[in-house]
Amino acid sequence: MFHLIRAGISGGKTVPEQVAENPLVFATVTAPSFGTVHTRRNGRRCHPTSRGRCEHGEPRSCHAMHAEDDPQLGQPLCGDCYDYASHVVWQWWAPDLWRRFTIALRRLFAHALGVPATRLGEVATVQYAKVAEYQLRGAIHFHALVRLDGPKTAGGFEPAPDGLDADQLALLIREAAASVRLTVPGVDVDDPARVLAFGRQLDARAVRTDRRTDDPDRTLSPEQVAAYLAKYATKSADDTGATDTAHHARIRATVRALDDRAKRAGHDGYELLSKWSHMLGFRGHFATKSRRYSITLGTIRRSRRRAQALLAQAKEDGTPVDLAALEADLLADDDDETTLVLGRWEFVGAGWHTDGERTLALAAAARAREYAREKAQQNKAKTQHNSGGRS
Ligand SMILES: [Zn+2]
Ligand SMILES: [Zn+2]
């Protein structure tokens, strides 16, 4: 994953190195607030300014300076004030909200480049790699690398058009994230339709590959970004952080309750919601990328398998293998996967792994056919015998 992300930032592994010249932005979009939760604020107190108690008798303020491993972090100050239903509904629709965001982004880029959105592909394409990560409060947020490439071609990775640098790109990304809205139905007639948006806490900053920048606060190095994204993408997909808290249990219970209500009401849009209760209602992929962001993870895995086979071969023959020289060859043979999905599950192929397995399977199939034929003949004989007996 690190190599895949790294190649999309500065080239390598068959991705042309000039891709590093194209404007690149690292963006984080979050979920909105569904209620006040305990937080860490860089040496400041949790929620010192609110006063009094809520209608459930819980204090509205918290003067603690929570430690990094404080189990209270991410837990609501009052569970009854926390809007669990909206949390679950937002999480359920988050993949659609993201899609809406990428559409808004393309529109803004097209406008900035002076072309109609429908003809953006003639001058530029938007490539991205994104990962979803659970925050302590059980809401996911997205980290994404967004890169502006040149016109759509079979090979991809074209030089970016003039007129948009990474800082302008970052501005447009922030604008798109702040403006995107998605209206979704309630789970039943008693549940209101909701207008979903991303949280106000959003970040988009240029990634510099040339290191000539003087502003380290607003920029990130490719290594920082790749390491950061790879870390989250390779967490297992059902790792929702601290899953044993009362807050997480209540989110899961809300998922099941809303699923029940949607089923009873026969409302569309919430099918299989309860299937995702262990994911706190998030049904999206944990790592995805556009087709021409970089090479695919499958390609890297295949090349690694082939390299291992070559190493074994070389060991047997007693000849050295030049892996660096082989890399280009190994990576050249690329199937066009369009989406990268990470988690515990991986489709490694159909059919038989080895010739031995294949032989066994063919033999088993032949035996099964033979058995079926024998059975059929026996049945036929029986039928003939029976009908013979009746006549
Ligand atoms: Zn607190
Ligand atoms: Zn309350």
For residue 103, give every residue at least 6 positions away whose Cβ sits within 8 Å of its Cβ, in sequence order, or none. Answer: none
Q: Which of 165, 156, 67, 63 is nearest to 113 (CA)?
A: 165
> What's residue 305's pLDDT?
63
Angle value at C-alpha 251, between 250 and 257, nearest 5 degrees: 85
Cα of 200 vs centre of ligand 2, distance in Å, is: 23
Cα of 93 vs centre of ligand 1, distance in Å, is: 29
Cα of 62 vs centre of ligand 2, distance in Å, is: 14
For residue 9, give every residue at least 6 positions away whose Cβ sits within 8 Å of its Cβ, in sequence order, or none. Answer: 19, 20, 24, 145, 207, 209, 222, 225, 226
Percent of the chain with pLDDT over 90: 34
Q: Which of 109, 324, 343, 152 is nearest to 238 (CA)?
A: 343
> What's residue 16's pLDDT?
82
Cα of 46 vs centre of ligand 1, distance in Å, is: 4
For residue 120, give every residue at least 6 positions away whose Cβ sits within 8 Å of its Cβ, in sequence order, or none. Answer: 106, 109, 110, 113, 126
Rounded Cα distance, 335 and 333, in Å: 7
Rounded Cα distance, 330 and 252, in Å: 45
Q: Which of 140, 117, 142, 141 is nearest to 129 (CA)?
A: 142
> What's residue 389's pLDDT?
43
Ligand index nearest the alpha carbon of residue 35: 2
Band the pLDDT of 209: cuts 50, 70, 90.
low
Rounded to an integer, the average pLDDT of 103-119 is 90
Which comes out higher in pLDDT, residue 10 or 308?
A: 10
pTM here? 0.73
Ligand index nearest the alpha carbon of residue 83: 2
Rounded to an integer, the average pLDDT of 261-273 is 88
Whether the per-residue pLDDT at 142 is higher than 80: the answer is yes
> What's residue 15's pLDDT?
83
Whether the per-residue pLDDT at 21 is higher than 50: the answer is yes
Give the three-class secondary structure for 59. Answer: strand
> What's residue 36's pLDDT?
95
Rounded to an integer, the average pLDDT of 281-294 is 78
Band the pLDDT of 235: cuts 50, 70, 90.
low
Cα of 192 vs centre of ligand 2, distance in Å, is: 21
Residue 29 CB neighbours (<10 A):
26
> What's residue 221's pLDDT?
73
pLDDT digits (tens, 9 = 90+) for 336-368: 323 343 333 334 445 555 566 566 666 666 666
Ligand index nearest the alpha carbon of residue 58: 2
pLDDT digits (tens, 9 = 90+) for 49-70: 888 999 999 999 999 999 988 8
Q: Which of 39, 63, 35 is nearest to 51 (CA)?
A: 63
Q: Please identify every residue whose CB atom is under 5 Å from ligand 1, which is an ion.
A: 38, 46, 62, 64
Whether the per-residue pLDDT at 231 is higher than 90: the answer is no
Give the three-class secondary structure for 29. Answer: strand
Band the pLDDT of 27: cuts 50, 70, 90.
very high
Band the pLDDT of 152: cuts 50, 70, 90.
confident
> What's residue 267's pLDDT?
79
Which comes out higher in pLDDT, residue 284 or 22?
A: 22
Cα of 51 vs centre of ligand 1, distance in Å, is: 14
Cα of 50 vs centre of ligand 1, distance in Å, is: 12
Cα of 47 vs centre of ligand 1, distance in Å, is: 6
Whether the per-residue pLDDT at 184 is higher than 50: the answer is yes
Rounded to an integer, the average pLDDT of 148-172 is 90
Q: Mind spelling out the 3-state secondary structure of 345-376?
A: CCCCCCCCCCHHHHHHHHHHHHHHHHHHHHHH
Ligand index nearest the alpha carbon of residue 55: 2
For the chain, give the mean pLDDT: 79
